[in-house]
Amino acid sequence: MKSFTGKALRWQWRDGIVEMTLDHEPANEIGTAMLAELQQFVASFGELAPKTHVCIIASAQKAGFSAGADLRELYHGAAALPEKERLPGVRDFLERIHAVLNAIDAAPFVTIAAVHGVCFGGGLELALACDMIIADKMARFAFPELRLGLIPGFGGIPRLKRDLGNAFVRDLLFTGRTVNATRAQAVSLVAQLAGEGEALRIARSTAAQITKFDAAARATAKKFIKPIPHEELRREIDLFCELFARPAVMAALKKFVEDAGPMPYLP
Amino acid sequence: MRTIEQTTQEVLDLATKHFQLPAGSLAPEDDFFKKLGIDSLQTLELLSRLENHFAIELPDYEVQGVSDFKTLAERIQSRL
Protein backbone atom coordinates (compact mmCIF):
# COMPACT_ATOMS: atom_id res chain seq x y z
CA MET A 1 0.00 0.00 0.00
CA LYS A 2 1.65 3.21 -1.19
CA SER A 3 -0.41 5.40 1.09
CA PHE A 4 -2.48 4.94 4.19
CA THR A 5 -4.26 7.18 6.64
CA GLY A 6 -5.23 5.69 9.97
CA LYS A 7 -6.24 6.94 13.39
CA ALA A 8 -2.72 6.90 14.84
CA LEU A 9 -0.44 7.28 11.83
CA ARG A 10 -0.29 7.70 8.08
CA TRP A 11 2.22 7.07 5.36
CA GLN A 12 2.84 8.23 1.83
CA TRP A 13 5.28 6.86 -0.75
CA ARG A 14 6.72 9.13 -3.43
CA ASP A 15 9.81 8.95 -5.65
CA GLY A 16 11.47 6.16 -3.69
CA ILE A 17 10.88 7.67 -0.26
CA VAL A 18 8.13 6.68 2.15
CA GLU A 19 7.23 9.13 4.89
CA MET A 20 5.41 7.71 7.88
CA THR A 21 3.91 10.27 10.22
CA LEU A 22 2.87 9.43 13.76
CA ASP A 23 -0.19 11.46 14.63
CA HIS A 24 -1.97 10.32 17.79
CA GLU A 25 -2.82 12.81 20.52
CA PRO A 26 -1.40 13.90 22.79
CA ALA A 27 2.15 12.57 22.26
CA ASN A 28 2.00 9.46 20.04
CA GLU A 29 1.76 7.11 23.00
CA ILE A 30 2.23 3.54 21.82
CA GLY A 31 -0.80 1.54 22.82
CA THR A 32 -3.02 -0.96 21.05
CA ALA A 33 -4.28 1.48 18.40
CA MET A 34 -0.79 2.67 17.45
CA LEU A 35 0.56 -0.89 17.52
CA ALA A 36 -2.15 -2.15 15.17
CA GLU A 37 -1.31 0.53 12.60
CA LEU A 38 2.44 0.01 13.03
CA GLN A 39 1.81 -3.64 12.21
CA GLN A 40 -0.03 -2.58 9.05
CA PHE A 41 2.89 -0.33 8.18
CA VAL A 42 5.51 -3.07 8.39
CA ALA A 43 3.17 -5.46 6.60
CA SER A 44 3.42 -3.10 3.62
CA PHE A 45 7.23 -3.39 3.46
CA GLY A 46 7.07 -6.37 1.10
CA GLU A 47 5.27 -4.25 -1.48
CA LEU A 48 7.21 -1.04 -0.78
CA ALA A 49 10.74 -2.39 -0.45
CA PRO A 50 11.64 -3.00 -4.14
CA LYS A 51 10.94 0.64 -4.98
CA THR A 52 11.96 2.33 -1.73
CA HIS A 53 15.35 3.79 -0.88
CA VAL A 54 14.48 5.56 2.38
CA CYS A 55 11.74 5.62 4.98
CA ILE A 56 11.39 8.70 7.19
CA ILE A 57 9.43 8.40 10.44
CA ALA A 58 8.33 11.71 11.92
CA SER A 59 5.61 13.09 14.14
CA ALA A 60 2.83 15.58 13.58
CA GLN A 61 2.21 15.99 17.30
CA LYS A 62 3.58 19.21 18.82
CA ALA A 63 4.68 17.43 22.01
CA GLY A 64 7.26 15.42 20.12
CA PHE A 65 8.18 12.17 18.41
CA SER A 66 6.64 9.90 21.02
CA ALA A 67 6.32 9.88 24.78
CA GLY A 68 6.55 6.07 24.76
CA ALA A 69 4.21 3.31 25.82
CA ASP A 70 0.63 4.28 26.62
CA LEU A 71 1.00 3.87 30.37
CA ARG A 72 -2.60 4.86 31.04
CA GLU A 73 -3.90 2.14 28.75
CA LEU A 74 -1.40 -0.33 30.23
CA TYR A 75 -2.43 0.49 33.81
CA HIS A 76 -6.20 0.51 33.21
CA GLY A 77 -6.04 -2.61 31.05
CA ALA A 78 -4.02 -4.51 33.65
CA ALA A 79 -6.06 -3.20 36.60
CA ALA A 80 -9.25 -4.51 34.99
CA LEU A 81 -7.90 -8.08 35.03
CA PRO A 82 -7.22 -10.50 37.90
CA GLU A 83 -3.51 -10.44 38.72
CA LYS A 84 -2.70 -13.82 37.17
CA GLU A 85 -4.33 -12.86 33.87
CA ARG A 86 -2.26 -9.71 33.33
CA LEU A 87 1.02 -11.15 32.15
CA PRO A 88 -0.18 -13.00 29.02
CA GLY A 89 -1.60 -9.75 27.66
CA VAL A 90 1.61 -7.87 28.43
CA ARG A 91 3.76 -10.57 26.80
CA ASP A 92 1.54 -10.62 23.73
CA PHE A 93 1.86 -6.85 23.33
CA LEU A 94 5.63 -7.01 23.74
CA GLU A 95 5.99 -9.77 21.17
CA ARG A 96 3.93 -7.83 18.67
CA ILE A 97 5.83 -4.57 19.16
CA HIS A 98 9.13 -6.43 18.99
CA ALA A 99 8.09 -7.94 15.65
CA VAL A 100 7.31 -4.43 14.36
CA LEU A 101 10.58 -2.90 15.55
CA ASN A 102 12.61 -5.86 14.30
CA ALA A 103 11.04 -5.38 10.87
CA ILE A 104 11.93 -1.68 10.89
CA ASP A 105 15.45 -2.51 12.12
CA ALA A 106 15.94 -5.05 9.32
CA ALA A 107 14.22 -3.12 6.52
CA PRO A 108 16.23 -3.29 3.28
CA PHE A 109 15.86 0.49 2.83
CA VAL A 110 17.39 3.15 5.05
CA THR A 111 15.22 4.34 7.92
CA ILE A 112 15.47 7.81 9.45
CA ALA A 113 13.71 8.98 12.60
CA ALA A 114 13.14 12.76 12.38
CA VAL A 115 12.75 13.67 16.04
CA HIS A 116 11.47 16.77 17.77
CA GLY A 117 10.27 17.28 21.33
CA VAL A 118 9.97 14.25 23.58
CA CYS A 119 11.43 10.92 22.54
CA PHE A 120 10.98 8.77 25.62
CA GLY A 121 10.82 5.08 26.43
CA GLY A 122 9.01 3.20 23.67
CA GLY A 123 9.29 6.26 21.47
CA LEU A 124 13.07 6.18 21.81
CA GLU A 125 12.95 2.44 21.12
CA LEU A 126 11.11 3.15 17.87
CA ALA A 127 13.74 5.75 16.94
CA LEU A 128 16.56 3.34 17.87
CA ALA A 129 15.17 0.75 15.47
CA CYS A 130 15.89 3.24 12.67
CA ASP A 131 19.27 3.57 10.99
CA MET A 132 19.61 7.24 11.82
CA ILE A 133 18.10 9.72 14.24
CA ILE A 134 18.03 13.33 13.04
CA ALA A 135 17.00 15.47 15.99
CA ASP A 136 15.78 19.00 16.42
CA LYS A 137 18.07 20.67 19.00
CA MET A 138 15.13 20.99 21.40
CA ALA A 139 14.47 17.24 21.37
CA ARG A 140 14.94 15.29 24.58
CA PHE A 141 15.59 11.60 25.05
CA ALA A 142 14.96 9.36 28.03
CA PHE A 143 14.44 5.84 29.25
CA PRO A 144 12.33 6.47 32.33
CA GLU A 145 11.28 2.85 32.86
CA LEU A 146 13.29 2.27 36.04
CA ARG A 147 11.16 5.00 37.65
CA LEU A 148 8.25 2.56 37.29
CA GLY A 149 10.16 -0.49 38.47
CA LEU A 150 10.57 -1.76 34.90
CA ILE A 151 13.22 -1.89 32.22
CA PRO A 152 12.69 -0.77 28.61
CA GLY A 153 10.61 -3.51 27.03
CA PHE A 154 10.52 -2.67 23.32
CA GLY A 155 14.13 -3.62 22.58
CA GLY A 156 15.81 -0.54 24.02
CA ILE A 157 18.62 -2.13 25.99
CA PRO A 158 19.93 -4.49 23.28
CA ARG A 159 19.81 -1.71 20.70
CA LEU A 160 21.45 0.84 23.01
CA LYS A 161 24.23 -1.64 23.74
CA ARG A 162 24.64 -2.32 20.02
CA ASP A 163 24.92 1.34 19.13
CA LEU A 164 26.38 3.29 22.06
CA GLY A 165 29.09 3.27 24.68
CA ASN A 166 28.09 1.58 27.90
CA ALA A 167 28.88 4.43 30.26
CA PHE A 168 26.19 6.59 28.72
CA VAL A 169 23.77 3.66 28.47
CA ARG A 170 24.13 3.00 32.22
CA ASP A 171 23.67 6.70 33.07
CA LEU A 172 20.55 6.91 30.94
CA LEU A 173 18.98 3.76 32.35
CA PHE A 174 19.93 4.06 36.03
CA THR A 175 19.05 7.73 36.43
CA GLY A 176 16.02 7.70 34.14
CA ARG A 177 16.94 11.27 33.25
CA THR A 178 16.22 13.14 30.04
CA VAL A 179 19.14 14.26 27.89
CA ASN A 180 19.13 16.98 25.27
CA ALA A 181 19.83 16.44 21.59
CA THR A 182 23.27 18.03 21.75
CA ARG A 183 24.42 15.49 24.33
CA ALA A 184 22.67 12.74 22.41
CA GLN A 185 24.68 13.63 19.33
CA ALA A 186 27.92 13.78 21.33
CA VAL A 187 27.40 10.13 22.33
CA SER A 188 26.30 9.12 18.81
CA LEU A 189 22.70 8.41 19.70
CA VAL A 190 21.76 11.19 17.28
CA ALA A 191 23.41 11.23 13.83
CA GLN A 192 22.63 14.83 12.89
CA LEU A 193 21.37 17.87 14.77
CA ALA A 194 18.78 20.17 13.26
CA GLY A 195 17.67 23.66 14.16
CA GLU A 196 14.38 23.99 15.96
CA GLY A 197 11.58 22.72 13.72
CA GLU A 198 13.99 21.61 11.00
CA ALA A 199 14.43 17.88 11.67
CA LEU A 200 12.03 16.75 8.95
CA ARG A 201 13.47 19.09 6.34
CA ILE A 202 16.97 17.81 7.07
CA ALA A 203 15.74 14.21 7.06
CA ARG A 204 14.28 14.80 3.57
CA SER A 205 17.53 16.35 2.35
CA THR A 206 19.48 13.39 3.78
CA ALA A 207 17.04 10.96 2.16
CA ALA A 208 17.52 12.62 -1.22
CA GLN A 209 21.28 12.10 -0.90
CA ILE A 210 20.86 8.44 0.07
CA THR A 211 18.67 7.70 -2.95
CA LYS A 212 21.61 8.43 -5.28
CA PHE A 213 23.44 5.21 -4.42
CA ASP A 214 23.12 1.57 -5.38
CA ALA A 215 20.34 -0.15 -3.41
CA ALA A 216 21.98 -3.60 -3.31
CA ALA A 217 25.26 -2.23 -1.95
CA ARG A 218 23.37 -0.23 0.62
CA ALA A 219 21.30 -3.21 1.79
CA THR A 220 24.48 -5.31 2.09
CA ALA A 221 26.27 -2.63 4.10
CA LYS A 222 23.27 -2.21 6.38
CA LYS A 223 23.03 -5.94 7.15
CA PHE A 224 26.77 -6.02 7.88
CA ILE A 225 26.87 -2.90 10.08
CA LYS A 226 23.71 -3.53 12.02
CA PRO A 227 23.18 -7.09 13.23
CA ILE A 228 19.93 -7.59 15.11
CA PRO A 229 20.48 -8.92 18.65
CA HIS A 230 17.62 -11.45 18.51
CA GLU A 231 18.61 -13.47 21.58
CA GLU A 232 18.98 -10.40 23.81
CA LEU A 233 15.71 -9.01 22.50
CA ARG A 234 13.89 -12.20 23.48
CA ARG A 235 15.59 -12.17 26.90
CA GLU A 236 14.46 -8.56 27.40
CA ILE A 237 10.82 -9.62 27.00
CA ASP A 238 11.29 -12.30 29.68
CA LEU A 239 12.95 -9.86 32.09
CA PHE A 240 10.26 -7.22 31.52
CA CYS A 241 7.53 -9.74 32.27
CA GLU A 242 9.30 -10.92 35.43
CA LEU A 243 9.46 -7.32 36.67
CA PHE A 244 5.90 -6.49 35.63
CA ALA A 245 4.60 -9.33 37.81
CA ARG A 246 5.64 -7.43 40.95
CA PRO A 247 2.98 -5.41 42.83
CA ALA A 248 5.33 -2.41 43.01
CA VAL A 249 4.94 -1.89 39.24
CA MET A 250 1.17 -1.54 39.32
CA ALA A 251 1.56 0.84 42.27
CA ALA A 252 4.07 2.95 40.32
CA LEU A 253 1.86 2.96 37.21
CA LYS A 254 -1.12 4.03 39.34
CA LYS A 255 0.94 6.87 40.80
CA PHE A 256 2.02 8.02 37.35
CA VAL A 257 -1.52 7.85 35.93
CA GLU A 258 -2.98 9.77 38.89
CA ASP A 259 -0.18 12.37 39.10
CA ALA A 260 -1.53 15.83 38.50
CA GLY A 261 1.78 17.56 39.21
CA PRO A 262 3.78 19.50 36.65
CA MET A 263 6.53 16.89 36.38
CA PRO A 264 5.02 13.40 36.31
CA TYR A 265 8.11 12.12 34.55
CA LEU A 266 10.16 12.65 37.70
CA PRO A 267 10.07 10.05 40.47
CA MET B 1 33.12 32.85 34.95
CA ARG B 2 29.59 34.08 35.61
CA THR B 3 28.54 35.14 39.08
CA ILE B 4 25.36 33.66 40.54
CA GLU B 5 23.72 37.05 40.04
CA GLN B 6 24.56 37.00 36.33
CA THR B 7 23.35 33.43 35.99
CA THR B 8 20.09 34.26 37.75
CA GLN B 9 19.50 37.25 35.49
CA GLU B 10 20.18 35.17 32.38
CA VAL B 11 17.69 32.54 33.56
CA LEU B 12 15.06 35.24 34.10
CA ASP B 13 15.81 36.85 30.72
CA LEU B 14 15.62 33.52 28.91
CA ALA B 15 12.30 32.58 30.54
CA THR B 16 10.90 36.07 29.87
CA LYS B 17 11.85 35.87 26.20
CA HIS B 18 10.73 32.28 25.71
CA PHE B 19 7.34 32.79 27.29
CA GLN B 20 6.95 36.25 25.71
CA LEU B 21 6.46 38.17 28.92
CA PRO B 22 7.05 41.87 29.51
CA ALA B 23 10.62 42.67 30.53
CA GLY B 24 11.14 42.65 34.29
CA SER B 25 7.99 40.64 35.03
CA LEU B 26 9.87 37.72 36.60
CA ALA B 27 11.73 37.79 39.91
CA PRO B 28 14.26 35.30 41.35
CA GLU B 29 11.86 34.17 44.10
CA ASP B 30 8.96 33.51 41.73
CA ASP B 31 7.58 29.98 41.51
CA PHE B 32 8.00 29.27 37.80
CA PHE B 33 5.24 26.65 37.66
CA LYS B 34 2.71 29.05 39.17
CA LYS B 35 4.00 32.18 37.46
CA LEU B 36 4.38 30.68 33.99
CA GLY B 37 1.59 28.10 34.22
CA ILE B 38 3.72 25.54 32.45
CA ASP B 39 3.18 21.80 32.18
CA SER B 40 5.76 19.02 32.20
CA LEU B 41 6.49 19.20 28.48
CA GLN B 42 7.00 22.96 28.60
CA THR B 43 9.28 22.46 31.61
CA LEU B 44 11.42 20.08 29.58
CA GLU B 45 11.53 22.60 26.76
CA LEU B 46 12.70 25.29 29.19
CA LEU B 47 15.32 22.86 30.47
CA SER B 48 16.62 22.33 26.91
CA ARG B 49 16.84 26.07 26.33
CA LEU B 50 18.74 26.56 29.58
CA GLU B 51 21.12 23.71 28.77
CA ASN B 52 21.78 25.06 25.28
CA HIS B 53 22.22 28.62 26.55
CA PHE B 54 24.64 27.73 29.34
CA ALA B 55 26.25 24.84 27.40
CA ILE B 56 25.68 22.45 30.31
CA GLU B 57 23.70 19.36 31.09
CA LEU B 58 21.20 19.73 33.91
CA PRO B 59 19.74 16.33 34.82
CA ASP B 60 16.05 16.44 35.74
CA TYR B 61 16.74 14.93 39.16
CA GLU B 62 18.84 17.99 40.02
CA VAL B 63 15.77 20.17 39.61
CA GLN B 64 13.40 17.85 41.41
CA GLY B 65 11.58 19.89 44.02
CA VAL B 66 12.97 23.13 42.60
CA SER B 67 10.28 25.63 41.72
CA ASP B 68 11.87 29.08 41.97
CA PHE B 69 14.26 30.76 39.55
CA LYS B 70 16.87 31.52 42.22
CA THR B 71 17.34 27.87 43.20
CA LEU B 72 17.27 26.85 39.55
CA ALA B 73 20.09 29.33 38.90
CA GLU B 74 22.06 27.81 41.78
CA ARG B 75 21.75 24.35 40.23
CA ILE B 76 22.95 25.77 36.91
CA GLN B 77 25.82 27.63 38.56
CA SER B 78 27.13 24.41 40.05
CA ARG B 79 27.50 23.02 36.51
CA LEU B 80 29.44 25.98 35.08
Check whether A265 has a pLDDT greater than 80.
no
Judged by a CB distance cut-off of 8 A, whether residue A149 touches chain B is no
Q: Which residues of B touch A267 (CB under 8 A)?
A: 61, 64
Answer yes or no: A139 catalytic: no
Domain that holds residue A223: 3-199+211-258
pLDDT class of A205 with cuts at 50, 70, 90: very high
Q: Which residues of A touch B48 (CB under 8 A)?
A: 137-140, 180-181
A267, part of any domain: no
Say which of A139, A175, A262 has its CB closest to residue B40.
A262
A21, part of any domain: yes
Name the closest residue on chain B to residue A136, using Cα atoms: B48
Average pLDDT over residues A17-22: 98
Tell me how many domains chain B contains: 1
A36: domain CATH number?
Answer: 3.90.226.10
The Cα diameter of chain B in Å comes to 32
Name the closest residue on chain A to residue B52, using Cα atoms: A182
**Interface contact B47-A140, CB threshold 8 A:** yes
Of A135, A77, A69, nearest to A101 by C-alpha is A69
**Interface contact A263-B60, CB threshold 8 A:** yes
pTM of the full structure: 0.93
Contact at 8 Å (CB) between A182 and A190?
no
Q: Which of A122, A123, A156, A176 is catalytic?
A: A122
Tell me, what's the pLDDT at A267? 45
Average pLDDT over residues B48-67: 91
Judged by a CB distance cut-off of 8 A, whether residue A186 touches chain B is no
Average pLDDT over residues A162-189: 94
ipTM of model:
0.81
Q: Which residues of A touch B43 (CB under 8 A)?
A: 262-263
Within 8 A by CB and 6+ apart from B55, the residues are: none
| Separation between Cα atoms, residue A256 and residue A79, nearest integer Å | 14
**CA distance readout (Å), B69 to A136, A212, B9, B34, B57:** 26, 51, 9, 12, 17
Tell me how many domains chain A contains: 1
- Residues facing residue A119 across a β-bridge: A66, A141
Check whether A256 has a pLDDT greater than 70.
yes
Tell me, what's the pLDDT at A258? 87
Judged by a CB distance cut-off of 8 A, whether residue A63 touches chain B is yes
Say which of A27, A140, A262 has its CB closest to residue B48.
A140
Percentage, residues of chain A above pLDDT 90:
92
pLDDT class of A155 with cuts at 50, 70, 90: very high
A204, part of any domain: no
Of A84, A30, A87, nearest to A57 by C-alpha is A30
Of A60, A51, A53, nearest to A11 by C-alpha is A60
**Binding-face residues of B in 4-33 toward A, CB within 8 A:** 33
Query: Quick one: CA dihedral B12, B17, B20, B25, positive or negative?
Result: positive
Check whether A204 has a pLDDT greater than 90.
yes
Tens digits of residue pLDDT in B18-44: 999 999 999 999 998 888 888 878 888
| Separation between Cα atoms, residue A161 and residue A262, nearest integer Å | 32
Lowest mean pLDDT among A24-33, A187-196, A254-263, B6-15: A254-263
Answer yes or no: A125 catalytic: yes
Q: Which of A27, A58, A67, A69 is catalytic?
A: A69
| Separation between Cα atoms, residue A52 and residue A72, nearest integer Å | 36
Check whether A262 has a pLDDT greater than 80.
no
Tell me, what's the pLDDT at B42? 86
**Interface contact A180-B49, CB threshold 8 A:** no
Check whether A260 has a pLDDT greater than 90.
no
Residue-averaged pLDDT of chain A: 94
Average pLDDT over residues B49-63: 91
A50, part of any domain: yes
A190, part of any domain: yes
Of A121, A103, A95, A132, nearest to A41 by C-alpha is A103
B48: domain CATH number?
Answer: 1.10.1200.10
Check whether A171 has a pLDDT greater than 80.
yes
Tell me, what's the pLDDT at B60? 85
The DSSP string of B4-64 is HHHHHHHHHHHHHHHTT--TT---TTSBHHHHH---HHHHHHHHHHHHHHHT----GGGST
pLDDT class of A261 with cuts at 50, 70, 90: low
| Separation between Cα atoms, residue A121 and residue B28, nearest integer Å | 34
**Interface contact B60-A180, CB threshold 8 A:** no
Of A186, A191, A227, nearest to A206 by C-alpha is A191
Check whether A87 has a pLDDT greater than 50.
yes
Judged by a CB distance cut-off of 8 A, whether residue B44 touches chain A is yes
A33, part of any domain: yes
Tell me, what's the pLDDT at A104? 98
Q: Which residues of B touch A185 (CB under 8 A)?
A: none
Q: Output DSSP code: residue A192.
A: E
| Separation between Cα atoms, residue A177 and residue A191, nearest integer Å | 20
**A194 φ, ψ (degrees, to nearest 5):** -125, 155
Average pLDDT over residues A135-150: 94
**How many angstroms separate the CA of residue B53 from the nearest CA in chain A?**
12
A206, part of any domain: no
Judged by a CB distance cut-off of 8 A, whether residue A74 touches chain B is no
A77, part of any domain: yes
